């Protein structure tokens, strides 16, 4: 019988803080991981590592499966200048509502939120949707991420497998991919630095 990866991580399946919508195993609907805020200690260590490897005057950071925006807000707080935009992609609109409720006016100006399926050929669209009569154009996730210098993921191992093609494309475009808690299967050759005790893995394509 195939081992269930989720039984090895029972703490991630516990009831999450508000909002409490837990989702994650309906692959056909694009649900790939339960909501769980990024651990603060791991996130701080990962941001410290990122700051050593991003050498651009202006850059963008994205979080795939951004939940209620913990990583987005931490990045905005870390880089008052230089960071021109944070991009969050999430399938659960309730979590995006939470982000908007917490974001200040200055945060909103540097924040872009998208909703939809990041896996396979799924498409995403901006959220909230524009108020004009014309519906916003759907895009592939990679098109939205094309100019990002750093792409964060804090998802269970099975979800990372689902997103590996997208993450590999991000690497090819020159982004640093940061995975919290777990390494990304079959991307070992692109591993730039890691600290398993602190719980982060940084990947970048070879020149």
User: For 185-207, what is the mean pLDDT?
Assistant: 92
Q: What is the pLDDT of residue 11?
A: 56
Asked if 94 and 101 touch (Cβ cutoff 8 Å), the reply is no
CB count in 10 Å sphere of residue 151 = 27
Spell 60-91 as b/e; 16+ CB within 10 A means b. Answer: bbbbbbbbbbbbbbbbbebbeeebbbbbbbbb
CA 35-38-40 angle, to 5 degrees, is: 150
Is the dihedral angle over the CA atoms 169, 174, 179, 184 positive or is it negative?
Answer: positive
Residue 19 has pLDDT above 50, yes or no: no
Question: For 76-127, how does the pLDDT look when each residue is reduced to its tens digit (9 = 90+)?
Answer: 999 999 999 999 999 889 999 999 999 998 899 999 999 988 876 678 999 9
Asked if 109 and 83 touch (Cβ cutoff 8 Å), the reply is no
User: For 127-149, what is the mean pLDDT?
Assistant: 83
Residue 27 has pLDDT above 70, yes or no: no
User: Percent of the chain scored above 90 by pLDDT?
Assistant: 62
Q: Rounded to the nearest 5°, which phi and psi values hold at 78? A: -70, -45
Residue 142 has pLDDT above 70, yes or no: yes
Secondary structure element (H or E) that encloses residue 151, with its range: strand 150-153
User: For 52-64, what is the mean pLDDT?
Assistant: 94
Q: What is the pLDDT of residue 118?
A: 85
Closest CA to 86 of 94, 39, 103, 164: 103
Residue 4 has pLDDT above 50, yes or no: no
User: What gap in Å lies between CA 66 and CA 44, rounded to an integer?
Assistant: 16
**Can you name the residues that pair with 187 across neighbouring β-strands?**
none
Quote the DSSP letter at residue 38.
P
Q: Enumerate domains of the chain plus CATH numbers.
A: 5-203 (3.40.50.150)
pTM: 0.85
C-alpha 54, offset from chain centre: 17
User: For 134-141, what is the mean pLDDT?
Assistant: 80
Asked if 173 and 200 touch (Cβ cutoff 8 Å), the reply is no
């Amino acid at each position: 019988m195939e081992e269930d990866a989720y039984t090895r991580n029972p703490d991630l399946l516990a009831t999450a803080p508000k909002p409490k919508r837990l989702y994650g195993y309906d692959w056909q609907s694009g649900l790939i991981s339960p909501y769980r805020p990024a651990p603060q200690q791991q996130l701080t260590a990962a941001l410290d590592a990122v700051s050593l490897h991003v050498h651009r005057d202006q850059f963008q950071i994205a979080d795939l499966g951004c939940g209620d925006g913990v990583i987005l807000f931490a990045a905005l707080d870390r880089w008052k200048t230089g960071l021109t935009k944070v991009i969050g992609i999430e399938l659960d609109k309730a979590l995006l509502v939470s982000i908007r409720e917490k974001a200040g006016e200055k945060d909103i100006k540097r924040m872009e939120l998208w909703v939809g399926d990041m896996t396979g050929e799924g498409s995403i669209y901006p959220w909230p949707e524009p108020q004009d009569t014309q519906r916003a154009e759907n895009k592939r996730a990679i098109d939205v991420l094309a100019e990002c210098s750093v792409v964060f993921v804090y998802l269970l191992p099975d979800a990372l497998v689902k997103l590996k093609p997208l993450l590999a494309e991000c690497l090819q475009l020159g982004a640093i991919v940061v995975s919290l808690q777990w390494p990304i299967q079959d991307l070992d050759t692109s591993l730039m630095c890691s600290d398993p005790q602190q719980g982060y893995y940084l990947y970048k394509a070879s020149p």
